[in-house]
Amino acid sequence: MDEGLTADIVAAEAALRGPSPEAWFDRLDGESESLEAALASALEHDHEQGLSLAGAVWPYWLARDKVATGRDWLGRMLEASEWEERTEARARALYGAGTLAYCQGDRDPSLRFHTESLAIAREHRNLQLEADALIGLACVSLLDRNALVMQQHAQASLEAARAAGDEQRVATAAEHVAAAERLEVEIAAAAEPHQEAAVQEALDQPEAAPPA
């Protein structure tokens, strides 16, 4: 296993999720075989390292249209470590798995992964991981088209990110709060014609005869 590559990727987690990850994505394009070998070795010998690696590299899978590959590796790592310690590395891997599932419109696994990630984040009192998991749950609510719940999760994520002093996560959460507000307006606008039609239908009904 390429220990150097693994260590570099794990250390670069923030960069891989940041606004300018292209240099890292290009590097991983050239080291895809080494990445696969590192994941396979970790799956067999070191689950915690595997969770850290997969939990850091998932944005690359998403950006390079390798979502199915990413979901497969994350799923295998999470399953192999299911009865082991609930670590922060597991929370990160769960967030990645939930996000990739969301991107494929796969609601139930996304909800399950993000819910567990949130629980672990709170066990460790890690506000950054808590902010991430809450954004994941907000996205699940977007799939449900539930603007109220989406806004609640996004607002809670914003508060956690602010408490952590993490400006990147603050920006992400603020975007999702705004998205929830747009969804609420969209749902309300879509409902108006149906409401008007229902009112008109009621008005068009003949009056009921008075009781005898």
pTM, whole model, 2 decimals? Answer: 0.89
DSSP sequence for 114-177: HHHHHHHHHHTT-HHHHHHHHHHHHHHHHHHT-HHHHHHHHHHHHHHHHHHT-HHHHHHHHHHH
List the CATH code of the domain at 1-124. Answer: 1.25.40
> Do residues 76 and 43 lie in contact, with contact meaning Cβ atoms separated by under 8 Å?
yes
Burial bucket for residue 33 (CB in 10 Å: 0-12, 13-18, 19+): exposed
Rounded Cα gap, residues 111 and 138, in angstroms: 10
What pLDDT was estimated at residue 16? 95
**pLDDT mean over 133-137:** 98
pLDDT grade for 4, boundaries at 50, 70 and 90: confident
What pLDDT was estimated at residue 23? 95
**pLDDT mean over 129-151:** 98
